[in-house]
DNA sequence: ACAAAAGTGTTCACACTACACCCATGG
DNA sequence: CCATGGGTGTAGTGTGAACACTTTTGT
């Protein structure tokens, strides 16, 4: 811990709030909870927590994520810092928002009830406490930007996925339909996926092939001067 | 000031560091200073300051900007929060970075010496204290993104500018040459500039026409479903 | 045999790139 | 009159958008 060099005396609580995105029932959802403490107890809120003395912002966010999802190695990225004076009526708190992408397939549903938490479709978001709605808007904008330029969309799946489901996810993120052939053409052109020999028959008689993201192929693709783009 | 609802006791100094961009001598520069206090006194640093109890993050950044530039209404945007435990050896400090675009033409050069400050070309940046180099990298990346999608490049000028200088600025930001005709075509296609009847003769015998950004035309351009793109 | 979702190619429009010459003026 | 930077148009190419039918298989 660094020594106190500065005479400045204004110190602040620093919180971390997480926008946890998941893909479920063809829709993009985020994990919300009923706020367990006053003020605004019982209202809908993002998952959050305070940063401790001996941890970094990123570590604090990872802690929050693990606490509510029990998943490790979650993809996570900072959205920004929110520092309005009156943003939290409970105290002067500076909050740093992070968004995260989780694999809903392996999500432990008993956790949700334990924390009074719920997956809510991004179209049916209730009013959230403080400035959390703004955080969600900012996170969604950043998510769209990142998805279009980096191969993070695959983080929503546990390893394998089908092209129809990938496209459904893409459409849920951008809230716009895409032509199936154009979408698949773009994916195929990059050559960064491997097709497995097995099919997912849960949503059609014919079945859709599973694919996996091949990081090595991706690295080679990038190394040869190409740019990922979705 | 909100009441203290939370029993949490970990409080932190919150600083704001500003990456102040200016355009000078065909090059993009940022304003640096010799750090006036220990630790690392005398080393190169961004312009910064601590946030006070009764001000927001944005206000704290505006305060820093005004202190070092004496300009009001500066374009400014948050880059992100930096919260590594050991990032500042002087104390545990969470710092929030902002970048800003200033009009160097109206810059009071006496200020620079008063604060031991200096405009430094982004290619010749020295090693800065703490994680300031990383902040600059992040700010530059964000700047490039924003410039390509929003008409903020005009913030570098006090009202009028010539197309050659605008192109020089663009090239300085992206570090790549652009074809003159293509660049002007793109600008002209949007129809968001007004050509003045006067010329800048400081860099050629013939003189280059001055232009101004016309916000009303810009709003109409956007309202008709078009997208700004540079 | 039929319903329901998976899979597959081609054409067209537009945006981006490359490229070279004349113009205006001060010295 | 010439050196210097300002200003202009066109053709080609590649990328993104539109579009419809066949395949598979469980019921």
Q: pLDDT tens for residues B29-68?
A: 999 999 999 899 999 999 999 999 999 999 999 999 999 9
Report the distance separating Cα B188 and Cα B184, nearest Å.
Answer: 6
Tens of pLDDT, residues A134-188: 999 999 999 999 999 999 999 999 999 999 999 999 999 999 999 999 999 999 9
Report the distance separating Cα B111 and Cα B67, nearest Å.
Answer: 9
Parallel/antiparallel/unpaired status of strands B27-34 and B11-24: antiparallel
Does the residue A52 lie in any domain?
Answer: yes
Domain boundary among B91, B125, B149: B149
Does the residue A88 lie in any domain?
Answer: yes
**Checking phi first, is residue A148 left (phi over 0); if not, alpha (psi -120 to 50) or beta?**
alpha
Residue B39, preceding peptide bond in cis (omega within 30° of 0): yes
Which is nearest to B21 in space by CA: B111, B125, B91?
Answer: B125
Q: The domain containing residue B37 runs over which residues?
A: 13-149
Residues A88 and A173 in one domain: no
Does the residue A228 lie in any domain?
Answer: no
**Long-range contacts, A8-11 (Cβ 8 Å, 24+):** A8/B13, A8/B50, A10/B13, A10/B14, A10/B50, A10/B51, A10/B52, A10/B53, A11/B11, A11/B12, A11/B13, A11/B14
Task: Please check whether residue B2 is in contact with residue A86, taking contact to mean a CB–CB distance below 8 angstroms.
Answer: yes
Report the distance separating Cα A56 and Cα B84, nearest Å.
Answer: 5
Task: Please check whether residue A29 is in contact with residue A122, taking contact to mean a CB–CB distance below 8 angstroms.
Answer: yes
Residues B139 and B195 in one domain: no
> Which residue in A has a C-alpha nearest to residue B56's C-alpha?
A84
Element holding B146 (H helix, E strand): helix B132-149
Report pTM.
0.95
Residues A212 and A145 in one domain: no
Domain boundary among A122, A149, A176: A149
Residues A133 and A56 in one domain: yes
Distances (CA, A) of A64 to A15, A49, A126, A221, B202: 10, 6, 22, 35, 58
Residues B131 and B59 in one domain: yes
Q: Which of the residues B41, B79, B83 would you substitute to probe the A interface, choosing the one with the greatest number of A C-beta atoms within 10 Å?
A: B83
Residues A117 and A174 in one domain: no
Does the residue B216 lie in any domain?
Answer: yes
Residue A210, nucleotide of least CA–C1' distance:
C6
User: How many structural domains are present in chain B?
Assistant: 2
Closest-CA distance of chain B to residue A95, Å: 10
Closest residue (CA to C1') to nucleotide C5 in the complex: A204
Does the residue B94 lie in any domain?
Answer: yes
Does the residue A6 lie in any domain?
Answer: no
Tens of pLDDT, residues A66-115: 999 998 899 999 999 999 999 999 999 999 999 999 998 777 778 777 88
Which is nearest to A156 in space by CA: A11, A5, A7, A24?
Answer: A24
Q: Please count the CA atoms within 13 angstroms of the CA of B147 that sit on its side-chain side.
A: 22
Does the residue B167 lie in any domain?
Answer: yes
A2 — contact with chain B (CB < 8 Å)?
Answer: yes
In angstroms, the first-to-last Cα distance of chain B is 43
Q: Which residues in chain B are closer than 8 Å to A4, comparing Cβ atoms?
A: 90-91
């Amino acid at each position: 811990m660094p020594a106190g060099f500065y005479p400045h005396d204004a110190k602040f609580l620093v919180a971390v709030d997480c926008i946890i995105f998941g893909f479920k029932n063809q829709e993009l959802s985020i994990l919300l909870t009923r706020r367990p403490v006053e003020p605004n107890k019982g209202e809908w809120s993002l998952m959050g927590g305070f940063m401790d003395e001996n941890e970094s912002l990123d570590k604090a966010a990872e802690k929050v994520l693990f606490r509510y999802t029990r998943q490790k190695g979650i993809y996570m990225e900072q959205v920004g810092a929110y520092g309005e004076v009156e943003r939290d009526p409970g105290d002067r708190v500076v909050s740093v928002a992070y968004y995260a992408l989780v694999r809903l397939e392996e999500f432990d549903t008993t956790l949700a009830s334990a924390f009074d938490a719920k997956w809510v479709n991004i179209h049916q978001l209730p009013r959230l406490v403080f400035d959390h709605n703004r955080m969600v808007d900012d996170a969604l904008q950043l998510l769209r930007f990142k998805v279009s330029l980096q191969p993070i969309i695959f983080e929503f799946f546990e390893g394998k996925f089908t092209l129809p489901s990938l496209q459904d996810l893409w459409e849920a993120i951008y809230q716009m339909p895409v032509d199936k052939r154009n979408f698949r053409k773009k994916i195929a052109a990059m050559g960064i996926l491997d097709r497995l020999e097995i099919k997912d028959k849960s949503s059609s008689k014919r079945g859709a092939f599973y694919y996996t993201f091949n990081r090595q192929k991706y690295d080679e693709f990038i190394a040869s001067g190409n740019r990922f783009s979705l």
